[in-house]
Amino acid sequence: ISTSLMLSVRSVDLLSSKTGQNRLEHHTNLYHGNELIIRRGQTFQIELDLSRPFNSNTDKLHLELKTGSLPMVSKGTHIIIKLVEELEDHRWEAKIVKQKGNRIKLSVNSHPKAVIGQYKLTVMVKCPKREVAITHDPSKDVVMLFNPWCEDDTVYMDDEEEKKEYVLNDIGRLYYGTETQIGARTWNYGQFLEGMLEACLYVLEKSEIPPSGRGDSVNVVRVISAMINSPDDNGVLAGNWSGNYVGGVSPTAWSGSVDILMKYHKEGGQPVKYGQCWVFSGVTTTVLRCLGIPCRSVTNFQSAHDTDVSLTTDVYFDENMEPLDHLNSDSVWNFHVWNDCWMSRPDLPPGMGGWQALDSTPQETSQGTFRCGPASITAIRTGQVYHKYDTPFVFAEVNSDKIYWQRNLDGTFTQIHSEKKAVGHFISTKAVGSDERADITHLYKHTEESEEERIAVETASRYGTRPDVYSTPMAKDVSVEVKMEGEGPRMGEDAQLTIVVTNLSSQPRRTTLHSQVAVMYYTGVLKGTVQKNKLPVELMPNEVKTMQWILPYQSYQNQLVDQAALMLTLSGRVSETQQVLATQTNFRLRTPDLNIEPEGDAVVGKEMAAKITFTNPLPHKLRGVVFRVEGLGLQKVREVVVGDVGSHSTVTLTEHFIPTQAGPRKLVAALDCKQLTQVHGVADIDVQSQ
């Protein structure tokens, strides 16, 4: 028999060009490189060049895809794709859509619950003349991702603008600071840059999840939340809240995830130094968007950290109303950044799908590992904290009450005061399609003080470790609050706040307010007391008294830590009624921006410059100042050593770079210096094509 009748595959064309039909239809045309990157539950085309024309009556052909180190048909990691007459949804199959000479074009359909990751493709052909099939292995792999455009995928998202933001946008904004002084910084997610898809798949590879579990979005985000932090699995980032960042990059100096993920991949899975919550969250957004799961970074101001799962945040005082520091382990972080990811929850009762909270910052362990979520935001809003995963912890972060306890002479504690609105304010994320801040507090909780909100808090508390905490009313006719002018105190100047004490009764009232101000890490951990005062207050009937409170720069200058935050605790007892007054206010000292001014025309391939200006706000010299400058499509991360900057003096430097991509771009710069952190700036640059 002449061998020309034998059937074999000469070559396979995966039609994987960035600009080709496959990549455009699958919304993967932004990824770097020309691999076949597809999304599950959607058809794609490939072309085969055979040794002779294909005869569908007598010749046989099928495809095989394999992923993981031990592919198995039963686990969904070895897929056999047969030829069919007509394509149907919900199954793997292929159909010949075009035949011309020796070439055939196949349309291949994948299952919407397919395992994601890298697959090896094999083409098998068999003709009547031979017993054995002939196999052909193309050199290129196929990468399968989640598909928010496919109605049958668990991560399906209906709104086109939201998909553009939460899957395809490679730049975002992260919020930090305190609720009255919200700061924003630009973050480069960079999920489509060269090497990033490989790096994100590497993170999934390194996790404990077997390949067969990689089709389940709940499972995938849960292991990613564990893999982004390093305590128990050599994850991507080492957390460091100490203020000493020797041997690594200070958490406030990063402006994006690219450097971090590339370094982790390149160094074979050594945790990158160092991260704090917004860095963990930014990297999580990058990895999940890259894998095709809609995701956003979310900041919660006044974020509680409930260590004993009582679902209340407890503050303890001794007999003299002095705080008992060794007992105050529940902390309220000024802000905390986590993630929302979008998916249905087939593992929970109906109605729990949509946004899920996911937290990659290592705070408390969940089932033995530092991870948190996914917790349904609907379950959080309604107090149904028994729905997995880690819902009680996230509920407490946004909605627990702050309860003040005082020690009695016999060593027991009495609940003396409760603040219903102390935590979970201005929950923020970048708005869809703009750089504005969107407030999403209403998704996490009902309006404060509304009946639904009280019911949710009390429902949740019944599942905590102290179910009977809601009971004791008292006569309360004096109130105390702290107010701040405008955007609040600036770094390097005296801090000034206003204390307002109101007497709501028709009788005079007397009290002494104990004020204590302490430097605080943004995690709510106090570093040390800076100033203590006693303030006698005498109130006439129905009087509203306003007092100025001042903290001189000298008192705090050598005490500050990273986020330059301070907490003022006021406590006292009204002599006539024994009513307890207690309130805690935190404020930050605002830092200056880096001013960036682009110079020259922004054209792809043509050198341009940007002028970066910074003024030292402090009355003393800054030592060892470094700028980190980066911009997607403009330039890779560059460190510029500036050196010392004198008191109140201004430094200007010009950075030259060559834009590589057209369209609206952002150049981001951050300052790294031991004495001053959270200084950054951004410039919008519209790059023209040549």
**pLDDT value of residue 416:** 79
Average pLDDT on 341-367 reads 79
- Split at pLDDT 50, 70, 90, the class of 77 is very high
CA nearest to 272, candidates 241, 244, 234, 242: 234
CA nearest to 47, candidates 94, 80, 117: 94
**pLDDT value of residue 279:** 95
Q: Could you tell me where in the chain the CATH 2.60.40.10 domains are found?
A: 9-145, 478-588, 595-687
The CA R_g of the chain, rounded to the nearest whole Å, is 30
Q: Choose between 195 and 453: higher pLDDT.
A: 195
Residue 234 assigned to a binding site: no
pLDDT surpassing 90 at residue 204: yes
Q: Indicate the angle between helix axes 196-206 and 277-291, nearest 10 degrees.
A: 100
**pLDDT value of residue 371:** 64
Residue 453 assigned to a binding site: yes
**pLDDT value of residue 523:** 61
3-state class of 372 per DSSP?
strand
Q: Which of 122-136, 187-201, 301-315, 434-448 has the highest average model confidence (pLDDT)? A: 187-201
Q: How far apart are CA 467 and CA 414, in angstroms?
A: 16
pLDDT surpassing 90 at residue 88: no
- The reply to whether 277 belongs to the active site is yes
CATH no., domain 160-462: 3.90.260.10
pLDDT surpassing 50 at residue 566: yes
Average pLDDT on 289-317 reads 83
With a pLDDT cut of 90, the percent of the chain lying above it is 51
Q: How far apart are CA 90 and CA 532, in angstroms?
A: 68
Choice among 26, 305, 336, 446 that is catalytic: 336
Average pLDDT on 607-628 reads 91
Q: What's this model's pTM, rounded to 2 decimal places?
A: 0.79
Name the burial class of residue 211, with classes exposed (0-12), middle (13-18) and buried (19+) by CB atoms within 10 angstroms of its CB.
buried
**pLDDT value of residue 373:** 74
Tokens standing for residue 550: 């001042």
Q: How far apart are CA 417 and CA 408, in angstroms?
A: 15
Pairing mode of beta strands 171-178, 134-136: unpaired
Longest C-alpha distance within the chain, in Å? 114
**pLDDT value of residue 599:** 93
Q: Choose between 310 and 335: higher pLDDT.
A: 335
CB 201 within 8 A of CB 227: no
- Split at pLDDT 50, 70, 90, the class of 367 is very low
- The reply to whether 200 belongs to the active site is no
pLDDT surpassing 90 at residue 678: no
Contacts 24+ apart (CB under 8 A), 223-226: 223/371, 224/284, 224/287, 224/288, 224/358, 224/360, 225/284, 225/358, 225/359, 225/360, 225/371, 225/372, 225/373, 225/374, 226/360, 226/369, 226/370, 226/371
Choice among 127, 277, 290, 673 that is catalytic: 277
CATH value of 595-687 in 3.40.50.720, 3.40.50.11270, 3.40.50.880, 2.60.40.10:
2.60.40.10
* Exposure string over 304-313, b if 16+ CB within 10 A, otherwise e: bbbeeebbbb
- Split at pLDDT 50, 70, 90, the class of 455 is low
Q: Which of 223-237, 502-516, 559-573, 675-689 has the lowest mean pLDDT?
A: 559-573
pLDDT surpassing 90 at residue 180: no
pLDDT surpassing 60 at residue 473: no
- Split at pLDDT 50, 70, 90, the class of 395 is confident
**pLDDT value of residue 446:** 80
Q: Could you tell me where in the chain the CATH 3.90.260.10 domains are found?
A: 160-462
Choice among 153, 216, 359, 562 that is catalytic: 359
DSSP secondary structure letters along 512-570: EEEEEEEEE-TTS-EEEEEEEEEEEEEE-TT-EEEEEEEE-HHHHTTT--TT-EEEEEE
Sequence letter at residue 335: F
For the stretch 647-664, pLDDT in tens is 999 999 999 999 999 999
**pLDDT value of residue 299:** 96
Give the CATH class of 478-588. Answer: mainly beta
Residue 448 assigned to a binding site: yes
For the stretch 404-431, pLDDT in tens is 888 888 888 888 777 777 788 999 999 9
For the stretch 266-302, pLDDT in tens is 999 999 999 999 999 999 999 999 999 999 999 999 8
- The reply to whether 359 belongs to the active site is yes
CATH no., domain 9-145: 2.60.40.10
Sequence letter at residue 408: N
pLDDT surpassing 70 at residue 174: yes
